[in-house]
Each structure stands twice: as structure tokens, then as C-alpha cells.
Amino acid sequence: MGLTAGIVGLPNVGKSTLFNAITKKNILAANYPFATIDPNVGVVIVPDERLVRLEEMYIPEKTIPTSIEFTDIAGLVKGASSGEGLGNQFLSHIRETDAIIEVVRCFKDNNIIHVEGEIDPIRDIEIINLELTIADLEIVGNRIEKMRKKAESNKDKEALKEMEALSKAKEALLNNIPLRLVDFTKEEQKILKSYSFLTIKPMIYLANISEEEVALEDNEFVKMVRDYATKEHAKCVRICAKVESELSELNIEDKEDMLNMLGLEESGLNKLIKETYDLLGLATYFTVGPDECRAWTFKKGMNAKECAGIIHTDFERGFIRAEVISYQDLIDCGSELKVKEAGRTRLEGKEYIMQDGDICHFRFNV
């Protein structure tokens, strides 16, 4: 299953520098607004030590990790929802993503101008979030009118349900409450899903700090962002986009040396990817063999039959059973044969709920 995340924020907060680090693409990262003119899309591999161990064990012809697609969107400004700056054309790109990563400037640098004149992370967050809210309100307002006419003229029950869900969304938005914080019923969630509302998407606030503060405790700006994220039940990740950009240019050994020198256990990008997975409720299962070792992303709570369908629809349609071993059992025992000898290989039916780290071989017939 594909996973996409949109990177948004005001101009000059570090979005393009971060995107360079994520994808190692040399897009323009200039010190002026709208340096990123078109949406930039890049794919980044999800780091997973388990896949590395499986590759060492099976020595396959190819190894395929799972990945996340990141879209870097031009800096939004106050009034973007009504066309200011580069406006609505970029808000439409955010609608196509699964989650939003909002980069917030949490560093001082007189050489890098701030579009609002001074550093204030909460003001910056509220500018972006207000534009997302206004954009959603416009869609809600237009749709409610259409559904009202349909419900009144045809006594359409489905139209009435949709209008009620949209009215509930409108009330929240008018009170500046993002839709992700509204307690919609499952039926309402299903109705609203097709609209791809911006404020209903999971949010990660990315606090971008300076190089000098990487090994230090959170500065006052980062603390403000963390507090704001906590109140929203959102996530906050601290990162230095500039350091991440430098790390992306190094080989594995040099990267480890630099991380050690900075006093970091892992890169900020790895933390971001893990937090994105956690935010979206995602996990990983594996398929292994001499031909290929591969990681597959699935939504927590999916059953074996649904997970088989991630590989191919025929696997789901003709599902018979899944032969499953846990990653840890494989590592502890040393081989699939020894796992079987230990009686830890399992045959699971279609209702089995897949677990993170499961190693599967699907049996099917079509």
C-alpha cells in the first residue's frame, strides 16, 4: 500500500532543505519566498534493521524495502486559501496525501528572512492551520447547499445523512476545530472520506532547529510547539534540516561517525519516518526467500486475507491460508527449519490479525 506525506509550512522555514535530505534531490532551496515553484515528489526508503538481518540470512537476488512518498509544497502564506501567494493550486496537492508534516521554524538566523518579520512558531502554525480550515470550509459550504436541495426535493435519506455529517464538520471548522479532533461516527467518517479534507488528516509538527542546538535540550520555541501539538493530540518531532541534509550526502560509516560526534543515536529523518508510521497506525510484514526479501506496509488491524491482497488481488481472492513465523522466532532459532522443529510455525486463516514483524508465505488458489 502506498503511503504519502505532504510537507507544508511558511516560506523559509526549512521545507526544501528537509526535502533535499529526504530524497537527496537537488531542488532549489533559496532564501526567498516561493523558491519551490512546483510540487516536488520524492520517495524515501523506510529504514528497518529487520530487513537487513533477513537479507543477511537469505542472501536473496534482490531486497525491496517499503517506502514513503513525500511531497514538498511551495510555502504557504496568509491568504493562501483565497489565492494569496501561490494559493489554492498547492492546497490541492496536500489533499492527495495521507498525512501532513508541518515544518515550523524554531531557530534564529539574521541571514534568513522570515516572511512575518520575526520568529513566532505558534503564530506560524496558526497561519497555516487557518488556511487549511478556510479551504475545508469552502468545500463544506458548497456541498451542503447541493445536498440540501437534493434532500428536500427527493426526500433522499442518504443525502440527508451526508448533509448532517457535513453540517457537523462545518460547525467544528467555524469554531476553528480541525476535523481530526471531531468525534465522527464510523458512518460519518465513511461519508467524509471522499472529500479529502485537509484538517482531517493526521498532523506532525516538525520543529526545525539550528545546528548549534542539535545536542542541546529543547529551546523555548520547540517547547511551544510541543505544547501546542499535545493539546491537538498531534505529534512533534525535533529536527535540524541542515544537519539532515549533510548526513544525506555521507556513506553509512561517515554518517554513523557524524551522529556519534553530534551525540545522536539516530537521524531526525529516521525518527520522522517512525513517527509517521505510528501516526497512521502502520506496521510491516515480510516475505522472504532466495529470490526476494521484501517488506510490506499494512494498516494495523488488517487480517491475513487483506494483507495478502496488498501483494496481489489474486492472493486475496483465492486466499487459503498463511504460513506465519514471527521475526523474533526466526532470529532466535536461526533458520526456518529450526523454527518448524521448535513448533513455532503457524498456519493462520483469513481472519488472523497480522502482527508487525510477521514473516508470511501465502497459499492461494484462483
234: pLDDT confidence band, cut at 50, 70 and 90? Answer: very high
Identify the DSSP state of 62. Answer: E
Q: What is the pLDDT of residue 323?
A: 97
25 φ/ψ angles, rounded to the nearest 5 degrees: -95, 140
Contacts of 334 (CB under 8 A, 6+ apart): none
Q: How many Å apart are CA 101 and CA 284, to the nearest integer?
A: 21
Q: What is the pLDDT of residue 39?
A: 57
Cell numbers standing for residue 200:
482531517
268 φ/ψ angles, rounded to the nearest 5 degrees: -65, -30
Residue owning grid cell 506532525: 204
Q: What is the pLDDT of residue 282?
A: 93
Stronger pLDDT, 10 or 295, i.e. the higher one: 295
Q: What is the pLDDT of residue 87?
A: 45
Give CA torsion, residues 58, 329, 274, 316, to 10 deg: 80
Which residues are registered as beta bridge partners of 67?
Answer: 45
**Tens digits of per-residue pLDDT, 340-361?**
999 999 999 999 999 999 999 9
Contacts of 77 (CB under 8 A, 6+ apart): 10, 11, 33, 84, 85, 115, 127
Q: What is the pLDDT of residue 34?
A: 39
Where in 20-98 does DSSP place strands (E)?
Answer: 40-45, 62-64, 67-72
Torsion sign, CA atoms 33, 108, 5, 46: positive
Q: How many Å apart are CA 200 and CA 197, to the nearest integer?
A: 6
Q: How many Å apart are CA 325 and CA 111, to the nearest integer?
A: 55
Tell me the pLDDT of the chain averaged across its residues. 87
Question: Average of pLDDT values for 182-188?
Answer: 94
Q: What is the pLDDT of residue 35?
A: 40
Stronger pLDDT, 86 or 42, i.e. the higher one: 42
Please check the confidence at residue 31 and state whether its pLDDT lies above 60.
Answer: no
Least confident of 6-15, 23-32, 58-67, 224-233: 23-32
* Residue 345 CA: distances (Å) to CA of 7, 251, 335, 348: 42, 38, 11, 10
**Tens digits of per-residue pLDDT, 128-175?**
999 899 889 989 988 888 877 777 776 778 888 888 999 999 999 999
Cell numbers standing for residue 337:
527449519
**Tens digits of per-residue pLDDT, 105-129?**
999 887 766 666 688 999 999 999 9
Closest CA to 294 of 311, 274, 275, 316: 311
What pTM was estimated for this model as a whole? 0.84
Please check the confidence at residue 69 and state whether its pLDDT lies above 60.
Answer: yes
Please check the confidence at residue 80 and state whether its pLDDT lies above 80.
Answer: no
Question: Average of pLDDT values for 208-213?
Answer: 93
Torsion sign, CA atoms 214, 220, 226, 232: negative
